[in-house]
Chains A and B, each alone.
Chain A
Amino acid sequence: MNQQKEKFFQVQDLTKVYQMGEVAVHALRGVTMELYAGELVVLLGPSGSGKSTLLNIMGGLDTATGGVVSYRGKELTKATEKELTEYRRFHVGFVFQFYNLISSLTARENVSVVTEIAPDPMAPQQALDLVGLSDRLNHFPAQLSGGEQQRVAIARAISKKPAVLLCDEPTGALDSQTGIVVLQALERINRELGTATAIITHNVDIAGMADRVIHLSNGHIASVEINKVKKSASELQW
C-alpha cells in the first residue's frame, strides 16, 4: 500500500555519535527507514534506544554523524542552517513531551506564533477547534491542564498545515485518560488533514493506533510491523 504513496522521508544508514566527555555514545548505529505521505508511524523503543535522536535529525534539529536523511528528495543532512530553519518553518510540525508553549501568550496567541510566519496557515481558532479547545482560546498556559496544554501544542504544530508532524513522547507527561484525548487529536489530524505523523513513545499500547510500528533498540531498527487492523485512539488503554 505504502509503495504507491509519496515517500516523504528516506533515511539511509543513519549514524549519530555523541561525545560525552571522554565517552563516545553511539545513539544511532545505521538506521534505514522511510516515512510515507499520510501514514501514522509509531517509533517504539525503550529509553536510550535512539528514537529521539532519530526524530531530532528528521526534524532538522540535530545533525547526523553519518548516513543520509532526505525529505521529499532533498538531503537534510547536507542542508545549511538557513535551509533547516526554512524547512522547520514551512514543512514540519513538532509536538514535545513538555509542550514547550510560550507562557506569556494565550492559547490562541501560541498558535498565532506559527500562523504569523506560515505561508498558508489555517486560522488559529480553527486549529484549536480541531483539538477541541475552542472554549479555551484566551487562556494562558498556566491556566490550562497538562492535556490542554499538549493539545494547544498540537494545534500550534498543525496550524501551518505541515506535511509532516513529529511527536516526541506526546503523552509522556500525561495520565492515561488525558493521553488518550491527546492521541485522539493526533489521530483526527492524520485522518482529516492527511498529515504524515511520526509518534515516538516507549508506551507499547500506543502502537495499536499506527499504520506501521518501527521498533528501535540500541540504535538499530529491530523490526517493522504493519498493523493490519488499526485501533482507534479511544480504544487504547494503559
Chain B
Amino acid sequence: MKGQVFAITLVVMSGVATFIMFISTMHSLDFTRSKFYREYNFADVFVNLKRAPETLKYKINDIQGVHQVETRVCAQAKLDIRGFKESVTARITSIPDDGDPLLNRLYIRKGRLPDPARDNEVAMNETFAQAHGLNPGDKFAAVINGKWKRLTVTGIVLSPEFILLMKTGAMTPDFKRYGALWMTRKAISKAYDMEGAFNDVVLTVYPGTALSDVVRDLDNILGRYGGFGAYGRKDQISHRLLSEEFRQLKTSSRIYPTIFICVAAFLLNIVMSRTISTQREQIGTLKAFGYNNLSIAVHYATMVMMIIATGVLLGIAGGIWFGKMLGALYMETYRFPFFHYILHPQVMIAVVVISVAAALSGTMHSLWNAARQTPAEAMRPEAPVKYRVSLIEKTGIGRWLSQPSRIIFRNIERKPVKTVLAIIGIATACATMICSGFFRDCIDYMVHIQFVLSQKEDMTVSFVEPTSYRAVYELKRMEGISSGEAFRSVPVRMKFGHRSYKTVINGIQPDSHLNILLDNHLKSISMPPSGILLTDYLGEILGVKAGDLLTVEALEGSRAVRQVPVVAMAKQYLGVMGYMNLEALNRLINEGDAISGAYLVTDETHREKLFQLFVQMPRVAEIVVRQNEIRSIYEIMAKAMLFFMFIATVMACSIAFGVVYNSARISLAERSRELSSLRVLGYTRGEIAYILLGELGFITLVAIPLGFIIGYWICAYVAHALTTDLYRIPMMIELKTYAQAALVVIVSAVISGCIVRHKLNNLDLVEVLKTRE
C-alpha cells in the first residue's frame, strides 16, 4: 500500500499547499498593504485639476469630514535614459520643500529626498530605478515643460500611491518605460510656472465620513479650476489593481483546493474500501474476540487520519514555501517596503477541518460496511461478484471484441460509480492544465485583438497640449513616415439616468485605417459622422444601448455638457471608453481642429532615427512604439505565467498520477488471481497488461474530452468572475492548450501504468494460485 498512500498523500498535500499558498499570499499582501497605507498615511481622496491658487487649500480643509489635505503639483515628463533607446515617460509629483509629504509618505530605500536648495534633484521609484540600473548619484535627461534638464537621482523610494505603477489603459505595468519621480515643490513649480498654485490634491477623511459627500463638495469647489473629478481609494489605479489581484487569489483559492480535496476523498474511498474488503477476515476475527464496532471503525479512521495528517502537514509546509515564492513574485511587481508573510491560525484550522471532513466523508461508507458485518459474515469469503454483458457489447460491437476486451468493458461497467469518479478525477487534472494555459491564451488573444486587429500603427505620438491639425501634416512630411492619422483624447464624465462614469472619449478620423473599432464578431465598424460609440462593457456599466441619448460632460476646456446619441457598441477587452468622429468631438467641446496626437506608420529603417527626433521635440509628450509595448507585456507576464504553469503542471500530474496509479493498483489487487490464471493458460505478460491497463487507458481517454469541457467551464467562470472595467478576459482557449493538457494527463497515466506493469511482471503465479487450505 506504500505507493497508494504516497499517491493520496501527494494529492492531499497539493490541495492543502495550493489553498495555503493562495490564501496566505492574499492575507500577507493585504496585511502588508494595510500596514504600508497606515504607516505611510495613504490618502482617501484624489483629484487632478488644471490650476488653482494655494489659498484654496483652506476651503478644501473646511469640507466636512476632511482630516488632512495636501496640495501638490504633478506633471508628465519625457525622459532620456542613457543606453535605452526607447520612449520613457514619468509622472513627477511634488514633495513639500520642508521634507517628507504629509500624505502618501515616501519610504526611502536608498539615498535621500531631493534638496529644496537644488532644482535638479529627484527621487525615483524602485522598479523604474532597478529596470535601468540607476542609483543615487546617477544622472539622466528629461524634458520638463518643454525644456531639457539634467536631473540627478538622490534617492530610491517607495510610495503607497504607486505600489503598482501602471499607466491607465495599459495591459501590464512597464517598469522600463514608465516611472515615477518626486521633485521638491519649489523646483517643479518653477519649471511648470505653478508658483503659488497647485494642480493635484490628496486628502484623508475622518472615519465614518461619507466619501461621496466629500467628493461632491470637492468637485463643486474645484469645478471652475479645471478639476477632473475627485475619486476615492477604490478607483485609485494602484489600489484597484491590487484589489483585483486579491480577488483573483480568492477565486483561485476556492477552485483548485476544492478539486484536490474531492479527488483525495475519492482516492481514499477506493483505497479504503479495498483495504477493508481484503481485511474482512481479520475484522471478523477481532469482532469474534469481542472488539466492538466503534473500535474497528476507529482503527481504520486512524489509518485515514494518518494519511491525511501527513498530507496536511506536508501541504502546510509546501504551501508556506509556495506562498513565500508567490509573495516574492508579487513583490517584483507590487512594491512594498517590507513583506510580512502571514499564515492565520484559522486558515490552518480550516485546512485541517476541511481535509478531515473530506477524508471521513470519502471513507465513511467503507468504515460503516466494516463495522456493520457480523463476525461470522466477515469471516466468510466475499460472495462472488456478479457480472452482466456490458452495454457496449449489446450495441453489436460485442461480436468483434476479444475476450480480454470483454473483460475490460465488463469491469468498467460493474462499478459504474467508481468508473465515473475516476473519469472525473482524471478530467479535473486535464481541466487544471487547461486553466493554466488559458491565461497565456487570453493574453495572446488580447494582444492580437488590441495590437493586430485594432491598432495598426507602429508608433503613437502624443503632444503636451492639444495642438492644431497642421501638426499631422508636418509629421507626415518627415522622412520615414508613410502615413499618419490624428486623434483627440478628452476626459469626460458620462451620465445615463442615475449612473455615471468618468473616462475619456477618443476622437478618431472617420476613415481611419490605423485605429479600427470592432464589433462583437470582430468585424470593423465604420465611424459615423456624429454620435458616440461605446466599448461594450461601458455600455453595460451605464445601462445604455444603441439609440439612447447619453449626457457627456467634458472635464477640460469649455467643460461643455451635451447630449450625444449612442450609435453602436465596440468590442474591447482593455479599459472602457467612448469613440467619436474627431470633428464631432471637437464640436462637442467647442474646440476648432485640435488634436492630442497622431498614430503613425513608419519605415522600419527610419524608426530609431524618428524616435530620437521625437525625443528631442519639446512638444511631444510621449512616444509609444507598438513593438516595444507588446514585448514589455510578455516580459512582465513571463515569470508569473511560468510559475503558475509550473504549479498547475505539478497539480495536474499529481492528480492524474494519484487517480491512475491508485485505480491500477486496486484493479491489480482485485484481479491478480484472474490475471495469474490467464498467465497459467499461456497469456503473455503483455496480453494481461492489456487487460489491466486497457481499462485505465479507456478511462483516461474518456476523461480527456470531459476534462476539456470542465476546463472550459472553469475558465468561463474565472473570466466572468474577474471581469472589471479595467479589463475583460476573453474566453479563448487555443488548440495547443488542449493538446498540452491531454499530453500531461497521458504522460502521467503512462508513467503510473509503467509502474503497475512492472508489478504485473513480477506476479508470482504459484503464490497467487495457492489454494485456501
Are A117 and B683 closer than 8 Å at their CB atoms? yes
- Number of residues from B at the complex interface, CB < 8 A: 33
Residue among B389, B681, B685 making CB contact with A113, cutoff 8 Å: B681
Q: How far is the CA of A88 from the CA of B676 in the complex (A)?
A: 12
The answer to whether B546 has its CB under 8 Å from any CB of chain A is no
Residues of A within 8 A of B406 (CB): 104-105, 109
Residues of B within 8 A of A104 (CB): 385, 387, 406-407, 410-411, 414
- Within B12-32, which residues are at the interface with A (CB < 8 Å)? none
- Within A94-134, which residues are at the interface with B (CB < 8 Å)? 94, 96-98, 100-106, 109, 112-114, 116-117
- Within B390-434, which residues are at the interface with A (CB < 8 Å)? 402-404, 406-407, 410-411, 414
Contact with A along B676-691 (1 / 0, CB 8 A): 1111111111010000
B148 to nearest A CB, angstroms? Answer: 86
Q: Which of A56, A85, A96 is most buried by chain B, counting CB atoms within 10 A of its CB?
A: A85
Residues of B within 8 A of A109 (CB): 403, 406
Are A96 and B771 closer than 8 Å at their CB atoms? yes
The answer to whether B208 has its CB under 8 Å from any CB of chain A is no
Are B682 and A117 closer than 8 Å at their CB atoms? yes
Q: How many A-B residue pairs have CB under 8 A?
A: 89
From A53, which residue of chain B is reached at the shortest CB distance?
B766
Are B384 and A103 closer than 8 Å at their CB atoms? yes
Are B674 and A102 closer than 8 Å at their CB atoms? yes
Are A62 and B403 closer than 8 Å at their CB atoms? no
The answer to whether A142 has its CB under 8 Å from any CB of chain B is yes
From B772, which residue of chain A is reached at the shortest CB distance?
A98
Are A140 and B680 closer than 8 Å at their CB atoms? no
Are B385 and A103 closer than 8 Å at their CB atoms? yes
Residues of A within 8 A of B387 (CB): 103-105, 140, 142
The answer to whether B513 has its CB under 8 Å from any CB of chain A is no
Residues of A within 8 A of B772 (CB): 98
The answer to whether A141 has its CB under 8 Å from any CB of chain B is yes
Are A172 and B765 closer than 8 Å at their CB atoms? no
The answer to whether B193 has its CB under 8 Å from any CB of chain A is no
Are B681 and A56 closer than 8 Å at their CB atoms? no
Are A96 and B769 closer than 8 Å at their CB atoms? yes
B391 to nearest A CB, angstroms? Answer: 14
A43 to nearest B CB, angstroms? Answer: 16
The answer to whether A86 has its CB under 8 Å from any CB of chain B is yes
Are A86 and B682 closer than 8 Å at their CB atoms? yes
Contact with B along A170-183 (1 / 0, CB 8 A): 00100000000000
Residues of A within 8 A of B687 (CB): 117
Residues of B within 8 A of A97 (CB): 771
The answer to whether A47 has its CB under 8 Å from any CB of chain B is yes
The answer to whether B98 has its CB under 8 Å from any CB of chain A is no
Residues of A within 8 A of B684 (CB): 82, 85
The answer to whether A61 has its CB under 8 Å from any CB of chain B is yes
Assuming A56-B766, A89-B683, is B385 touching A112 (CB within 8 A)?
Answer: no
The answer to whether B673 has its CB under 8 Å from any CB of chain A is yes
Assuming A98-B771, A100-B769, A142-B385, is B402 touching A116 (CB within 8 A)?
Answer: yes
Residues of A within 8 A of B388 (CB): 140
Are B680 and A61 closer than 8 Å at their CB atoms? yes
A172 to nearest B CB, angstroms? Answer: 7
Residues of B within 8 A of A211 (CB): none
- Within B435-462, which residues are at the interface with A (CB < 8 Å)? none
B105 to nearest A CB, angstroms? Answer: 75
Are B682 and A85 closer than 8 Å at their CB atoms? yes
The answer to whether B62 has its CB under 8 Å from any CB of chain A is no
Q: How far is the CA of A153 from the CA of B680 in the complex (A)?
A: 12
Residues of A within 8 A of B773 (CB): 47, 172
The answer to whether B499 has its CB under 8 Å from any CB of chain A is no
The answer to whether B386 has its CB under 8 Å from any CB of chain A is yes
From B414, which residue of chain A is reached at the shortest CB distance?
A104
Q: How far is the CA of A172 from the CA of B678 in the complex (A)?
A: 21
Residues of A within 8 A of B411 (CB): 104
Q: How far is the CA of A169 from the CA of B411 in the complex (A)?
A: 29
B717 to nearest A CB, angstroms? Answer: 40
- Within B652-682, which residues are at the interface with A (CB < 8 Å)? 673-674, 676-682
Assuming A89-B682, A104-B410, is B677 touching A61 (CB within 8 A)?
Answer: no
Residues of B within 8 A of A140 (CB): 386-388
Residues of A within 8 A of B676 (CB): 100
Residue among A56, A61, A103, A116 making CB contact with B403, cutoff 8 Å: A116
Q: How far is the CA of A142 from the CA of B773 in the complex (A)?
A: 21
The answer to whether A8 has its CB under 8 Å from any CB of chain B is no
Q: How far is the CA of A166 from the CA of B677 in the complex (A)?
A: 14
Are B677 and A102 closer than 8 Å at their CB atoms? yes
- Within A154-168, which residues are at the interface with B (CB < 8 Å)? 156, 168
Residues of B within 8 A of A169 (CB): 771
Residues of B within 8 A of A112 (CB): 403
From B383, which residue of chain A is reached at the shortest CB distance?
A142
A40 to nearest B CB, angstroms? Answer: 21
Q: How far is the CA of A100 from the CA of B677 in the complex (A)?
A: 6
Residues of B within 8 A of A47 (CB): 773
Residues of B within 8 A of A62 (CB): 765-766
Residues of A within 8 A of B765 (CB): 61-62
Residues of A within 8 A of B769 (CB): 61, 96, 100
Residues of B within 8 A of A85 (CB): 679, 682-685
The answer to whether A59 has its CB under 8 Å from any CB of chain B is yes
Residues of A within 8 A of B766 (CB): 56, 61-62
Are A88 and B682 closer than 8 Å at their CB atoms? yes
Residues of A within 8 A of B403 (CB): 102, 105, 109, 112-113, 116
Residues of B within 8 A of A116 (CB): 402-403
Are A88 and B680 closer than 8 Å at their CB atoms? yes
Residues of B within 8 A of A142 (CB): 384-387
A176 to nearest B CB, angstroms? Answer: 18
A163 to nearest B CB, angstroms? Answer: 13
Residues of A within 8 A of B680 (CB): 59, 61, 88, 94, 100
Q: How far is the CA of A116 from the CA of B683 in the complex (A)?
A: 11
Are B673 and A100 closer than 8 Å at their CB atoms? yes
Residues of B within 8 A of A82 (CB): 684
- Within B669-727, which residues are at the interface with A (CB < 8 Å)? 673-674, 676-685, 687
Are A141 and B384 closer than 8 Å at their CB atoms? yes
Q: List 23 A-B contacts (CB under 8 A).
A: A47-B773, A61-B765, A61-B766, A87-B682, A88-B681, A90-B682, A96-B677, A96-B769, A100-B673, A100-B677, A102-B677, A103-B384, A103-B674, A104-B387, A104-B406, A104-B410, A105-B410, A112-B403, A113-B678, A114-B682, A140-B387, A141-B384, A169-B771
Q: B interface vs A, CB < 8 Å?
A: 384-389, 402-404, 406-407, 410-411, 414, 673-674, 676-685, 687, 765-766, 769, 771-773
Other 5 A-B pairs with CB < 8 A, given A85-B685, A87-B682, A105-B406: A61-B766, A89-B681, A100-B674, A103-B384, A142-B384
The 4 closest A-B pairs by CB, nearest first: A89-B682, A100-B677, A104-B410, A88-B682
